[in-house]
């Protein structure tokens, strides 16, 4: 069965600093990878996704993630964070034959002024 590991439960960072949130998944023949964001007291929203093609995918608000098949990773990065990026971020994976998304335990990004 698929599994997802987010090793960092919380990442504190100062505003305008770069950040990387790590995600590793168990190997599979083909996978779809997702990053979701959850703001306080809200549901989850899709941030970006990898389906196929270019291994670097980007969101509209400056986040990007790179699919690395050899390292089974899908780390999320942003070169300069804002206070408004404070939220919990979840990495998720589904294999090509399953409708089910399996989520990691989440990383809380705390951006300080």
Partner 1 sequence: NAGVTQTPKFQVLKTGQSMTLQCAQDMNHEYMSWYRQDPGMGLRLIHYSVGAGITDQGEVPNGYNVSRSTTEDFPLRLLSAAPSQTSVYFCASSKLKGTGNTGELFFGEGSRLTVL
Task: Considering the complex, state which of residue 6 and residue 72 has its C-beta at the smaller distance from partner 1.
Answer: 6
Distances (CA, A) of 58 to 48, 53, 97, 113: 6, 13, 25, 25
User: Is residue 17 involved in binding partner 1 (CB under 8 A)?
Assistant: no
User: Is residue 9 involved in binding partner 1 (CB under 8 A)?
Assistant: yes
> Is there a contact between 101 and 111 (Cβ–Cβ < 8 Å)?
no
Residue 16 CB, nearest approach to partner 1 (Å): 29
Nearest residue to 11 (alpha-carbon basis) of 112, 101, 84, 104: 112
User: Is residue 11 involved in binding partner 1 (CB under 8 A)?
Assistant: no
Q: Taking CB under 8 A as the criterion, which residues in 75-94 touch partner 1?
A: 90, 94
User: Is residue 34 involved in binding partner 1 (CB under 8 A)?
Assistant: yes
User: Is residue 110 involved in binding partner 1 (CB under 8 A)?
Assistant: no
Token pair recorded at residue 57: 């995918």
């Amino acid at each position: 069965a698929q599994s997802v590991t987010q090793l960092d439960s919380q990442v504190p960072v100062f505003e305008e600093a770069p950040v990387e949130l790590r995600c590793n998944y168990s190997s599979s023949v083909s996978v779809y990878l997702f990053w979701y964001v959850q703001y306080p007291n809200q549901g989850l929203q899709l941030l970006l996704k990898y389906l196929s093609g270019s291994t670097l995918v980007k969101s509209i608000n400056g986040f990007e993630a790179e699919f690395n098949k050899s390292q089974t990773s899908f780390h999320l990065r942003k070169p300069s964070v804002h206070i408004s990026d404070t939220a919990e971020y979840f990495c998720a994976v589904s294999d090509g034959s399953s409708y089910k998304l399996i989520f990691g335990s989440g990383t809380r990004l705390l951006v300080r002024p």
